Structure 1
Amino acid sequence: MARKGYKLNNRPGMRFVGNLSDPQGFELLLQRWLEWLGVQNYSDKSAQNYDVYTRYFMRWCDERGITQPREVTRPVLERYQRYLYHYRKETGEPLSFRGQRARLAALRQFFKWLTKQNYVLYNPAADIELPRVEKRLPRHVLTVSEVEKIMLLPDLSDGLGIRDRAMLEVLYSTGIRRMEVVNLQLYDVDKERGTLMVRLGKGKKDRMVPIGERALAWVEKYLVEVRPLLAINPHEPQLFLTNLGEPFTPARLTQIVRRYVLRAEIGKTGSCHLFRHTMATLMLENGCDIRFIQAILGHVELSTTQVYTQVGIRKLKEIHTLTHPARLERTTRQDEATDTPTREITADDLLDALDAESEDEQDELLDADDE
């Protein structure tokens, strides 16, 4: 087990590769690496992705009689890179360059660790060039009318429909990530202050974000009318529960949100991240300074050369009220929102970062589709 919460055998269809009793074999060394990642406080998701991506390579090696990392050379890795480039899924589609890059980057980290631990004499992956990631246009962003069309789809005569509307409103109002929605707990919602506490977000950082009055109203309705009926365990801390009274998984949340987007018949696809991207884009169009959006989204930095400006929650709440398209009313104190930091970060920087997040989220779903 790499760390508490992530187990090597927790994925359907996963099988061990090679001889488990071989102290120099792939399988045993992979498990030791994953344990090291846990000791170094890597997230469970990072450990899982490294496990999945490295195991793809291990199976490829096993089919070619390569059973130990020390048998891997630079030419072997170059052959594997060509294999990834020419690989086709069952649908006939190739792996995205981002998907290829993720698999090769995992190997660079694996062999870097093996070299430091003296399991191999040199790092054959040290100088391997990763594929350049293409820019994807156009960006998928919803209009205000498209968002409202989606919001009207949940069946409000049913408790699950009220729950779904509340989740959609939270995604749209706060722009938090799907994992952050899944991890929300009951006491993370502060109705008086109009805020959400996002605990252990990406990078294991806590942050407080504003939430609009409309979203708060739907969350309150869900808490009063629906959640007591879903909560089988009265001590369950998670805010949103499934019809079985269990906490959501990211995949289940994605399925529900994607279903509503498809039902809206707006000619666009996407799921949770679509609302995150939409919120940021529409707030930009409404005049919100990029650094405030950066703080709400939890982007510590958009490049290695730009310094993050800490923004107080009171100011964030004010800016959110002024510029979020789902606000119930626009405050008349527009002039108070003009005291904003200089725009050193461009709108394109912010949207590019959101695009990269979206593609990373999609790559997490490739595991079941690619092989």
Structure 2
Amino acid sequence: MNKNPRTARRSANLTLVVASILALGLTLTGCNTATKASSESTASTAPASKVPVEAGAYPTTIAHAFGKAVIDKEPERVLTIGISSEDTVIALGVVPVAVPDETWAGDAEGYLPWFREAVADLGAEMPVTLNASDTGELDYEQILDLAPDLILAPYSDINDAAYKRLESIATTVAYANEPFGITSWQEQARIVGQALGRPAATETLIEGAETKLADAAAAHPEFKGKTFAYGMALNEGSTELGFYDKKDGRVTFTEQLGLTMDPDVAEISANRPKDLWYGAVSLEKLDTVTPDIFIAWGDDQATVDRSLANPLLAQWAPLKSGGDIWITDKELARATTSVSIISMGWALDRYVPLLADAIANTK
């Protein structure tokens, strides 16, 4: 056991209660209050494909919650709405005409690092970022001006009215059953790959990302058999500690690396309302939850410090052993919550060492 867990503790700074991601410009309106990029940008010219369309790929039909999208030929101007669809688009060598403005975790221009790098690798201009109002609503007029011929929103929360408005502009692929109802990053990639006429190439990319994940897990056999709880930093006056459950992407990602979500957390989560992705336990009963390590994220370092100062939390076994990870880095939060073909390597490089350090501290 580490005799000085506080000095060994890694604080990787991560914020993002899933709602933060889900609020990033996913519903639409007809007016704009915060223009970030003009639709006249050179990035809104037709994209240059480097992965060829496959024989027999068109026409193709994709069923979704509001009907079906019939795509007769290769789209020339692809626009993405929601979370991560642009990652598969760019991985297939297609530069979208516009992508969501990543105001929460993105850089000053609204792009995530792995997406920016992928565009640069193609030698292309960055695409337009979609305008967003203070409430996160998008601008239909801008979308109309961008003249897309395909709108991809398989991982979004557009409603029926929004879908009808988008469909009047261009063929739109919505989510299969319910908002943010994608069951895996592989499923999302396959939907995008089918729409772009590159299903076989998409499978190859998926296999590559899965190999990276498997290799990372194989390189750390000490992960197998270790249990974890993934929770939230304490708010001011908190009397409970919240835990994310298997519905949450960051929990799934951690399990795919070989760790197991603590069974006590599963039991807590079983009693939560159906539409929530987390459960909670009283700080006075923390000893009923017994993971080997605890992972949490908070809004900032002050939130982490406040959590660590709580005497009940400080005496919890994972913290006493130094088996705790505190994350406030927004990019890492985004990468591990909504994994994609191109964010996989970026996330693994930063997340796996944190897990390895925490587990080493518990020995």
Which structure's relative contact order is higher, taking Cα pairs within 8 Å and 6+ residues apart?
2
Task: Flag the structure with higher helix content.
Answer: 1
Q: State the TM-score, normalized to the length of structure 1.
A: 0.25
Q: State the TM-score, normalized to the length of structure 2.
A: 0.26
Task: Flag the structure with higher strand content.
Answer: 2
